[in-house]
Chain A
Amino acid sequence: MPKPFTSPVEDSVPKVDEKIAVGENLEFQRKWWRFERVIWSVFLVILVCDVLGLFGRGWLSKAKLVSDDGELTLNYERMERSDTPSIMTLHFSEQAIHDGRVKIFVGRTILGPLGAQRISPQPVVSAIGEGGITYTFAATEAPAVVQIALKPSFPGPHKFTMRMEDGRPVEGSVFVFP
């Protein structure tokens, strides 16, 4: 039968008062206490940033975009959280309504990475093309509001585009936290 590997017992653990083997490393512990002091401050800063909305769902994350001609005002969150629902609100001015209709092109970023779940109210017509969808809504008079429910699934920065019929594109960006 093979013998087990062995080695002699050596007195390698530091002793207290030359009597008790403890292995205390006070130098390391003092560094750790310093680290703990810093990390508690970091935790506090993270929580304050979170409450303020730096990581989404708060005051700092609210963003507003207005098209050059003022036809479209967009309220959204510039910081989103992955797999967390949010609402993007589109406000249309009186000039945006032509013949009882509002037409808007929504780029692919909103439909894909930002995870558009549903649009409210339902558009009369949805036409695909140009790498996005052009929605047509029935409208009477301003204020007219459309909401897009988002649930982003891809973390990271995302640029998006929207465009009113014959208007210049409105471009914004959203950062999605994991």
Chain B
Amino acid sequence: MAIFVIFRAVFGYLFLVLMVRIVGRRPGKQLTPFEFVLIFYLGGLTLTGMVGDEASLTNAVTQILTVALCHYVLASLRYRFDVVAQVLDGTPLILLEHNEWRTDTMSRMRITDDDVMDMAREHKIKDLKGIDAAVLEAFGEITVVARKDDSK
């Protein structure tokens, strides 16, 4: 039935959004091969259930339109409501401040001091003492703010 095609598309989209949100956030600017496997595999598996035996162009167009509409609605809600934005994207998290690690955040987000130092080196910071603050951004990147006296 046509309505099931739409239900499957909505469920597939929302389920993937949830799964990627739960499994997805790791530090780094780009997707690593590890995450490529996750994203493509999840996408492929969801596709099987969404399409089923109905491989018609009509079916594909209907599901693409449904996913587009879902995405539009989610993007609108994300823009209007902070809580939706936080649920979908997460919140930036401070990893280091006042010369102290946020150990709880670090362990829960599975981030090591090496990950922070990797990013610090990109900013020509030589050691951890040269870091004023480090933040895990909502999109997964670690931002490092250099201490003024040590930055140059």
Binding site for B on A (CB under 8 A): 16-17, 19-20, 22-26, 28-29, 32-33, 36, 39, 82-83, 155, 178
Instruction: Give the residues in chain A near B83, CB-CB below 8 Å.
Output: 28
Q: Chain B 92-110, CB within 8 Å of chain A: the 1/0 string?
A: 1110011000000100100
**Bound state CA distance, A20 and B95, in angstroms?**
13
Tell me, rounded to whole Å, the shortest Cβ–Cβ distance linking A52 to chain B.
21
Query: B22: which of A25, A28, A36 is its contact (CB, 8 Å)?
Result: A36
Nearest CB in chain B to that of A32: its residue? B90
Can you report 19 residue pairs joining A to B where beta carbons are below 8 Å apart?
A16-B94, A17-B97, A17-B133, A19-B132, A19-B133, A20-B132, A20-B133, A20-B145, A22-B94, A22-B133, A24-B92, A24-B135, A26-B105, A28-B86, A33-B108, A36-B22, A83-B53, A178-B4, A178-B7
Q: Does B76 interact with chain A (Cβ within 8 Å)?
A: no
Nearest CB in chain A to that of B97: its residue? A16
Tell me, rounded to whole Å, the shortest Cβ–Cβ distance linking A65 to chain B.
29
Nearest CB in chain A to that of B136: its residue? A24
Q: Chain B 102-127, CB within 8 Å of chain A: the 1/0 string?
A: 00010010000000000000000000
On whether A25 and B86 interact (CB within 8 A), knowing A20-B145, A36-B22, A83-B53, the answer reads: yes
Number of residues from B at the complex interface, CB < 8 A: 22
Query: B91: which of A19, A20, A24, A155 is its contact (CB, 8 Å)?
Result: A24
Cβ of A17 and Cβ of B98 under 8 Å apart?
A: yes
**Bound state CA distance, A130 and B49, in angstroms?**
36
Query: B135: which of A22, A29, A32 is its contact (CB, 8 Å)?
Result: A22
Q: A20-B145, A33-B108, A83-B52 are in contact. List 13 more A-B contacts (CB 8 A).
A: A16-B133, A17-B98, A19-B133, A22-B135, A24-B91, A24-B94, A28-B86, A29-B90, A29-B91, A29-B105, A32-B86, A83-B53, A178-B4
Instruction: Give the residues in chain A near B94, CB-CB below 8 Å.
Output: 16, 22, 24
Query: A39: which of B22, B91, B135 is its contact (CB, 8 Å)?
Result: B22
**Bound state CA distance, A33 and B86, in angstroms?**
13
Cβ of A22 and Cβ of B98 under 8 Å apart?
A: no
**Bound state CA distance, A127 and B23, in angstroms?**
55
On whether A23 and B92 interact (CB within 8 A), knowing A16-B97, A28-B86, the answer reads: yes
Instruction: Give the residues in chain B near A19, CB-CB below 8 Å.
Output: 132-133
Tell me, rounded to whole Å, the shortest Cβ–Cβ distance linking A11 to chain B.
16
Tell me, rounded to whole Å, the shortest Cβ–Cβ distance linking B6 to chain A.
13
**Bound state CA distance, A20 and B133, in angstroms?**
8
On whether A28 and B52 interact (CB within 8 A), knowing A17-B98, A39-B22, the answer reads: no
